Amino acid sequence: MAIALLGSFSVSGAEAAETLRIGYQKSSTLIAILKTNGDLEKALAPLDIKVSWHEFSSGLPLLEAINIGSIDFGADVADTVPVFAQAAGAKLAYVAEETPSPSAQAILVATASPIKTPAELKGKKIAVTKGAGSHYLLLAALAKAGLTFKDITPAYLPPADGRTAFVSNNVDAWVAWDPFLSSTIRQSGARVLADGSYGLASYKRYYLASADYAAKHGDALNVIYGRLVETGKWVKANPTAAAGLLAALWGIDAATVEEANSHRSYQVGAVTPAGLSEQQKIADAFLAERVLPAKVDTSALAIWTPKAP
């Protein structure tokens, strides 16, 4: 395998003074909690590292920002997103992963929709966020039904616009992930046509940094990794408290947030070459549909390795 394993390196005084620029999405639960409670800044203070926060609408522009040097660390993106970033030449390093959460994304149709199976999506207009995990779920569901992307009309939209198009009946279906998924189901009565738990997509989420940052700032990444692990455990052990905190951040009622969080594993661990096995399957599937512009060897991205506690 061509994957490079990056060890944890000490940070010099000059480097430690740099601001750590973190990109995140609205659905980046663990980072949203750390941003709110200030725990990450406190944990990084002994290293004389400050944090600046940068919100993105979805994962692909987030990783593009890492690639061009606008941010240093991204949290968190679906398993498909690094594949698209790699095809664009991004030099990234995997830092951590969340174990699979297959029911945290789904293809939605309106309650009154006549569509009952993915096979009936043929000829339909479907809202999906390009490069997101939901993009692969749609592709996999179509393939299982004997269809291809050519059999549908994709409407590539970020989550907020996708939801608007869906509830306005401007599309026949929408592929969404939590918390957008649970919120739409509860508020509009949308119906799940298929989700990843049907054996279509495991849906893992990853935390990445630029390869250069990972090689030079191992101490900082060790701190981030440790806080992510502990925050993930806290969310699962305290679902009501976590939902209450996130409800205010997301503008969603706490009951919906708790439902959404129940679909996510939030079990953060180290990334391994074996654990990335589905990445190549994702890349090859997108290439076959000519959605990915070039063949990608997913084993070529670096993996940063945390220090043992």
pLDDT at 17: 65
Where are the alpha helices (H) located in 118-275, listed in sequence order?
133-144, 159-167, 180-188, 211-216, 218-237, 239-250, 254-262
Residue-wise pLDDT for 159-203, tens only, equals: 999 999 999 999 999 999 999 999 999 998 899 999 998 789 999
Give the chain's length.
309
Name residue 257's amino acid. V
Q: What is the mean pLDDT of residues 2-8?
A: 45
Residue with the two structure tokens 């004389």 = 48
Q: Which two tokens stand for residue 230?
A: 């502990």
Domains and CATH numbers, the chain: 5-100+204-304 (3.40.190.10), 102-198 (3.40.190.10)
pLDDT band at 71 (very low <50, low <70, confident <90, very high): very high
Question: Which helix (H) or strand (E) segment is 268 a member of?
Answer: strand 268-269
Cα–Cα dist 213/216, whole Å: 5
**Helices 29-37 and 218-237, packing angle to 10 deg:** 100
Q: Which two tokens stand for residue 254?
A: 């706490």
Q: Which two tokens stand for residue 243?
A: 């939902």
CB-based contacts of 127, cutoff 8 Å, min separation 6? 155, 157, 161, 162, 165, 166, 171, 173, 174, 175
Cα–Cα dist 118/50, whole Å: 47
Q: Which residues pair with 155 in a beta bridge?
A: 127
Enter the pTM of the model: 0.87
pLDDT at 10: 40
Q: Which two tokens stand for residue 103?
A: 């029911």
Check: CB of residue 292 under 8 Å from CB of residue 84: yes
Residue-wise pLDDT for 13-59, tens only, equals: 444 468 999 999 988 999 999 999 999 999 999 999 999 999 998 88
Residue-wise pLDDT for 114-164, tens only, equals: 999 999 999 999 999 988 899 999 999 999 999 999 999 999 999 999 999
